[in-house]
Each structure stands twice: as C-alpha cells, then as structure tokens.
Amino acid sequence: MIGIPSWGSWDNSTTWYPWDTSSPEYGMWGRDKLGLHGLTMEYYTDSNDYHTDQPGVVQSLHPRCDSATYFSTSRPQSCVFQEVIPFIAYSTATDSPNRGVAQHIQDAFANPKSTYPTSSTAKLFPGKYDGTWNPEGLHRLTESLHSGIMAANEAEKDDACHKTGNYSTTGLPLALQPTLGQDCDEFPFRSTLEGAASPKWDFSVRAVDAKQNQSAGGSLVAFYGSDRVLAWDQSLPTPEATNDTFYVRIS
C-alpha cells in the first residue's frame, strides 16, 4: 500500500514507487526456469474529500520470470511483462549508423522477390513488426546453446555471398568484395532459429558497408539483453508457442 496525500499529488508526482516480487525456481519450466504469473493492482482513496468503499482494480498483467544464465551477471534473475511485444528498431535514414542493414531488411519484407539468393518460388521472411503478435516472429539462438544451428546458418549465408555450393547461380550477382570494406549481411539474423539454414523460411544476403553491419550487430546484441529475450528451448511444452518471439521494425 502506498499513501499519497491527494489525487492532485498523485497526478503530479514524479516519484517512482517500487515493489518486490518473488518467483521461486522450484517447479518452474524448462532450461531457464520460467515462471508465468499474474499481477493485479488495487487502489482506493480514504480522505476527507474522497472515499471509496470498494477498491478500483487495474487491468491484470502477466510477468514472466526466469533464471537464464546467459545474461549480465548484474541481472542473473529477472522478470518481464509478457504483454510487451519485443522488437528491435532500425532506421534507413541517411544519418543512421546501420542504414544499409535497415534497407536490406526493409527490401526483404517489402519485395522479397528482389533478394538474393534468387528463387523460382515466392520467398517468405518472418519477423516483420506490425504492433501485434500476429506475424510469424523470430527466435533467439546463442553460441553456447545452439552452436550447430548458428554454424549451419553461417555456412549457408557464406555460400550465397560467395556464389559457391548450392548458390553458384542464385547467390549475389557479384560475389562479396571484402577488400571494398564490405560485409555480407544476412536476414533473418544468424542468431535466430529462422536463419539461413532454416528449412521453413527463406533468407536474403546483401553486401553492405562493414561498419554499418557491425553497428547493426551490436544493436542486436544489446537488444537481446535490454529486452531479456530468452534463447530457444526445445524442451518447453509446445515450443513454438512458449518460447520468446521478437520482431524487427524498420523506419
């Protein structure tokens, strides 16, 4: 219970009011010990001016708590609200440090037929943010937990970028030129289950400025930490539904 002198004081207060929650690890789900909870807040007034016989109730929220070991040691256990849709934002603006990557992803979403490797059938890309949970999302991988999948993603990407293997005729029209300061950017990201080796989804590669590619990669790593995106756990019940999903917004 938090005491505020008046409604006017509440409306104009700039103070944050913290509270503590607990989520015991015992009996929780999966590798990261997921705990799924409900949170409801009640409020009431008791003053000379206003009095409520019954408390008001705000909309219930649903925190998800975990004990994943691959985040910062400063937050070995933490909780997030499941109602929040996690997305990473990239910009195509001329002053954006990752504009080449942003343009690549935007083109994959808007005109998949224009992307490489080419395909005789319609290409499908997951992960486009539209403000809802409706689109197919992306699922995070980590080197320590999914090195095999990530290596397969990289191998497919490299073949498409260098016009080798299965992509000798469908890869980049001009093989990657690292001496020109280029990196081979891929989407979906190498660190996702939906990456280049995915049998379910298509992928795209493009030669982009190396610094822009590295900037975009750094932003992705930071996003995984700040939004606490959990890595894919096949052991969860109905893994497609219970694993964390995230999206990409291009502006």
- For 70-129, write each residue's pLDDT tens digit: 997 777 888 999 999 999 999 999 999 999 999 999 999 999 999 999 999 999 999 999
Q: Can you tell me the distance from the alpha carbon of 208 to that of 181, in angstroms, rounded to the nearest whole number? A: 8
- Phi and psi (nearest 5°) for 131? 85, 5
Q: Can you tell me the distance from the alpha carbon of 237 to that of 242, in angstroms, rounded to the nearest whole number? A: 7
Tokens of 138: 């992306």
What is the predicted pLDDT for the residue at 50? 63
Diameter of the chain by CA atoms? 80
Q: Which residues of the chain have pLDDT under 70?
A: 1-11, 46-52
Whole-model pTM over 0.95:
no
What is the predicted pLDDT for the residue at 134? 95
Q: How many residues make up the chain in this entry?
A: 251
- Phi and psi (nearest 5°) for 249? -110, 125
